[in-house]
Structure 1
Amino acid sequence: MDASQLQTTDVRLNWGVVKLEIFQKLWRQRQITGEGIRVGVLDASDIPSHPGLHIFPKSQKVFSDKVVPHHHGTYCSGVVAADGTEVFGVAPDAGLAYGKVAVTAKSVAEGIEWLIAVRPVVQVISISLEIFEENEPVADFQALKAAVDHAEEKGRIVVAAVGNDFSRRREMVTRFPAGFSNVLAIGALKEDLTLHPESGMNSCIDLVAPGNNLRTTEQGGGTFGSFSRTSAAAAFASGAVALVLSALKNRDMEMTPAQVATLLRGTATFNFPNATRCQSNLYGCGIINPVAAIEKIETLKND
């Protein structure tokens, strides 16, 4: 993608891409757009169909035939990597894989294992689903944890929504897979970079990301202009991770998932009064900042 002719006022750009200077400092200055990286999206809705999403037949699989009355997965996929046909994702040159799963530990575990094995390789696994441990058979929950651990062992970075608090009571509720320590758990921000009122509280939260009124792809074509809450934020963060991995790839550098997570936590922007960096149950280590992460990468020697 050539971003040189785009302006910050282009209606296809999400506000978060401009506000976090992803467009200005990564796409335009460095030509870092996610090329060479693939993101696997797991969701409960149908396989996305949109001219701006590139999901090849061998990179899509249905694990659940349950019909859901929305296109949540199409929205997530567009925020991650829509190519500019009606809307731009965070990493518009990244590839996509997609698994339709049920909202159960067993089904999500199967989806993760499939994404680990699928070729071409998927480096980022994006999950905007909430699973409650108490609702799952013990063996199924253990299988989910094992799948997440397997993903880490194979060098895949798992990003998940911390979950929504529709009551707005700020009650501590741990949802999974975001609740696992080796998953990047993401909360949501509004346009003024304050916390979305329905972003959940979780002791495992790592980062927050733009997650309100995001413009994204609509099933079959067209755009959806108000994708919000932690699902949107996790998709945004997944695209940001793809940009960081693309920068590493461009420099022939490698990092483990744990090292990438440490980098992102360490370079996050934290400007929340009355909260402590990396100890907050609402903000984690702060706002994901792929620009700062890549600037840090540029100071590192390739050993």
Structure 2
Amino acid sequence: MTRRRIGIAATLGALGLVASGLVAPAGTPAAHAEARACTEGQTRFVPDAPPALARLGATQSWPLATGKGVVVAIVDSGVSANNIHFPRGSVLPGKSFVGGAATTDENGHGTALAGIIAARDIGEKSGVIGVAKDSQILPVKITGGEGGDEEQQRSANLAKGIAYAVSAGADVINLSLSTTSNRPDVRAAIASAVRAGIVVVASGGNREQAAETKDGLRFPAGYSGVIGVAASGPNDVVSENSIRGPQVDLAAPGDNVITTFRSWGDCVFSEAQQSSSYATAYVSGAAALLRQAFPKATSADITYRLEATASRGSRTVRDNVSGWGVVQPYEAMTAVLDNSVAGPVAPGAAPRVTSPPKVSTIDLTPARDPRAPDRAAVQWLLLGVAATVLGLAMARMLRKPTES
């Protein structure tokens, strides 16, 4: 196989994947730079832990849940199940709608998402490990292969892929894709998944990969019951590359993503631009943790926990940039929530009635000074004394004899 380096303009971009690693991020030892490169046919490992794990408090969450027993469907380009991070049983056979096996991945997008969610720890040589590290991946391959138009494949197979994930018993469905098209077949498939109690997580959209770059509603994130995700960078700031709109419910890290690279170990992706594809996978991993922690919870309950506990500046307000804020799985598992908690309304609770603020007027009329007459009398007295002194002085000067 001819080795070639994956660049920003590679075919991975069609699904929102931006592969990098040619330049190591600041603070990374120079010796690690080569290991971070994405080179086909060359197995390399990145010893650095994915920065998002620390931001999301994943290690703090693992004593409570690791995703064990939870199935996460990745409706995408397939998953390279022969990557060392996926031992036998961690990736299910799944189904391909484009020929070949779902456990193969020609462009790497689905494998990168699978690593974010469920990569297993392989020891000190690699820092890559999934948010829900014991969950199982169900690959649903709707695009990829050696031929065919990927956009057309996604449009033709998305609804069928979602329907298969529902029938196969998925607990979480990850959809790292977006479109402005409101397709009836996809809408119906999403509704079926939501009715089945599945947590559905979808990308809010990436500007640089979108045919329509303006902000606005994107699907399937815009459908009812779906968690729409934006990509955040350093300091939890959502990138300009992330599409803004009413479909955004949460944000998650989307840059400097260290994850699985097809069959060849690890790679660093999305160094130049935050990608909501990866952010979506982080939220899916968080949802898998909650699904294990609360096995009897509805999908609406899990969504509410993720949204109510997200990190944000204002506890009471969502916006079209980051939704309810950056996902925090540990807080979502440990918080005691009811309808009195600021933020989204709990499932089944009555909408909050916000009373109009009481308006009161302030009298700015100056108050009467009770000592004003006394102060006026003193002022006149002082003026009188001053005038008297001045008059006596002038009279004395006039009486003074002229010197000869």
The structure with more strand, counted as a fraction of residues = 1
1:95 to 128, 132, 136: 136
| Partner of residue 114, structure 1 | 164
1:16 to 17, 35, 52: 52
Contact 2:70/2:291 (CA < 8 Å) preserved in 1?
yes
| Partner of residue 379, structure 2 | none
Per-residue CA distance 1:202-251 (angstroms, 9 max, x = gap)? 212100001111100011121111244100000111001111111113xx
Contact 2:253/2:282 (CA < 8 Å) preserved in 1?
yes
Q: Provide the secondary structure at the position in 2 that maps to 1:192.
A: helix
TM-score (norm 1): 0.81
| Partner of residue 328, structure 2 | 289
TM-score (norm 2): 0.62
| Partner of residue 175, structure 2 | 127
Gaps of 5+ in 2: 1-45, 144-150, 339-404
2:220 to 177, 188, 192: 177
1:172–1:55 CA distance, 2 compared to 1 (3 A): farther
Partner Cα distance (1:68, 1:132) in 2: 26
1:82–1:46 CA distance, 2 compared to 1 (3 A): closer
1:54–1:163 CA distance, 2 compared to 1 (3 A): farther
Query: How many equivalent residue pairs?
Result: 272
Contact 2:84/2:265 (CA < 8 Å) preserved in 1?
no
1:71 to 108, 112, 126: 108
Q: What's the CA shift for 1:11?
A: 3.7
Partner Cα distance (1:111, 1:173) in 2: 25
Contact 1:64/1:101 (CA < 8 Å) preserved in 2?
yes
Per-residue CA distance 1:64-94 (angstroms, 9 max, x = gap)? 2499962111111111110123310111111
The alignment's C-alpha RMSD in Å is: 2.8
| Runs (4+) off by over 6 Å | 66-69, 167-170
- Letter of the 1:63 partner, please give it: F
Bigger Rg, structure 1 or 2: 2
Q: Provide the secondary structure at the position in 2 that maps to 1:238.
A: helix
State whether structure 2 residue 210 is matched by structure 1 residue 162.
no
Per-residue CA distance 1:20-41 (angstroms, 9 max, x = gap)? 2221x212xx242111111010
Contact 2:176/2:276 (CA < 8 Å) preserved in 1?
yes
State whether structure 2 residue 286 is matched by structure 1 residue 240.
yes
Q: Provide the secondary structure at the position in 2 that maps to 1:208.
A: strand
Q: Provide the secondary structure at the position in 2 that maps to 1:288.
A: coil
| Partner of residue 222, structure 1 | 265
Contact 2:166/2:193 (CA < 8 Å) preserved in 1?
yes
| Partner of residue 153, structure 1 | 195
